[in-house]
Homo-oligomer: A and B are copies of this chain.
């Protein structure tokens, strides 16, 4: 019991010695090797490992096996409910697969994103998941694509979430379709004049949602003037700011403002209220994503539900599934054959009190 509190963790070597077997046997007993080992030895090893509180050194295993159990996840902002929900999904699924996830935040900066990808590549993660879209035009895009391609060439798997601008496995969000249906439903409720508060710099996701919304309105006779599309940061404060500007400028008949994501919508909601208007009555509002919050604000927000956590799970599954998929030496002249897309996660319009029926 006078354990001298050794300062370095037990190594496999220690376990082997303690159990009186060779390194190889110890290794074989402790992990799922194809080789069988005598039950007695096995037990001895297990006991020794328990006694020494042995944990395999993952780095060493990675080096020896030439493969890690890591998945890297890149999001724009961890505190944003959109991303944290996705992350929760990724982590949950990873856990089920005994994978470990490392996370980094791009802070919506393409340069930073590129930098992080480079850095994360050093981990040799099994898969790399990039969530959150980047500007539609962006001068680092080529570099990012190259970096990711190099990563895939070396056996890694890239999955993009809701950003189809690069040619990799992607789980798509039905941004366009969801927004289009939302537009139709809103017109069905009697709304005619719309405004949009959306993310700045042409984020792909925002652009798709806007486009879908436009298309939906066009189909059923809703009106959205270009002047009534205001751009701002893709955040809560951006939403607040956008709505404020809209109101200050004069609503001039606008009945409903569509914020291209819920955190913006929530900000917009507060802006509306702060302007002395009653959201829902004086000015209706709708968002996109269905983050948990929107059920608890007043009025609850009409939005387009996206199964965010499922999005994350799906992304990881897609990355892993393809391992089987890759199968034969698809390596050869695959050439132009696009990567298997992950299909699209469907979005569902959820009408709530923020867009009461009118007329």
Chain A residues near B (Cβ < 8 Å): 5-9, 53, 55-60, 62-63, 68, 70, 77-79, 81, 84-85, 87-88, 91-92, 95, 100-105, 118-124, 150, 153-155, 236, 266-267, 269-270, 273, 292-293, 295-298, 309, 331
Contact for A297 among B57, B121, B298, CB less than 8 A: B298
Q: Which residue of chain B is the closest to A103 with respect to CB atoms?
A: B103
Could you list 10 A-B pairs, sorted by A, with CB under 8 Å? A7-B153, A59-B63, A59-B123, A63-B63, A78-B91, A79-B309, A91-B104, A101-B103, A102-B103, A269-B296
CB-CB under 8 A from A79, the residues of chain B are: 81, 84-85, 87-88, 292, 309
CB-CB under 8 A from A270, the residues of chain B are: 295-296
Contact in complex: A63, B57 (CB < 8 Å): yes
Q: Which residue of chain B is the closest to A273 with respect to CB atoms?
A: B298
Contact in complex: B102, A58 (CB < 8 Å): no
CB-CB under 8 A from A55, the residues of chain B are: 118-119, 121-122
CB-CB under 8 A from A295, the residues of chain B are: 270
4 more contacts with CB within 8 A, not counting A236-B292, A266-B296, A296-B297, are: A7-B153, A57-B124, A59-B60, A102-B103
Contact for A105 among B8, B85, B88, B154, CB less than 8 A: B88
Q: A103–B63 Cα gap in the complex (Å)? A: 22
Contact in complex: A91, B105 (CB < 8 Å): yes
Contact for A8 among B84, B101, B154, CB less than 8 A: B154
Contact in complex: B296, A236 (CB < 8 Å): yes
Most buried by B among A60, A63, A79: A79
Q: A102–B102 Cα gap in the complex (Å)? A: 4
Contact in complex: B5, A153 (CB < 8 Å): yes
Contact in complex: A60, B58 (CB < 8 Å): no
Least Cβ–Cβ distance between A102 and chain B, in angstroms = 4
CB-CB under 8 A from A236, the residues of chain B are: 292, 296
Contact in complex: A58, B100 (CB < 8 Å): no
Q: A174–B229 Cα gap in the complex (Å)? A: 45
Least Cβ–Cβ distance between A80 and chain B, in angstroms = 8
Q: Which residue of chain B is the closest to A6 with respect to CB atoms?
A: B153
Contact in complex: A154, B7 (CB < 8 Å): yes
Least Cβ–Cβ distance between A308 and chain B, in angstroms = 8
Q: A123–B62 Cα gap in the complex (Å)? A: 10
Least Cβ–Cβ distance between A74 and chain B, in angstroms = 11
Q: A135–B85 Cα gap in the complex (Å)? A: 25
* 10 A-B pairs with least C-beta separation: A298-B298, A59-B62, A84-B84, A79-B88, A78-B88, A59-B59, A9-B154, A102-B102, A58-B122, A55-B122
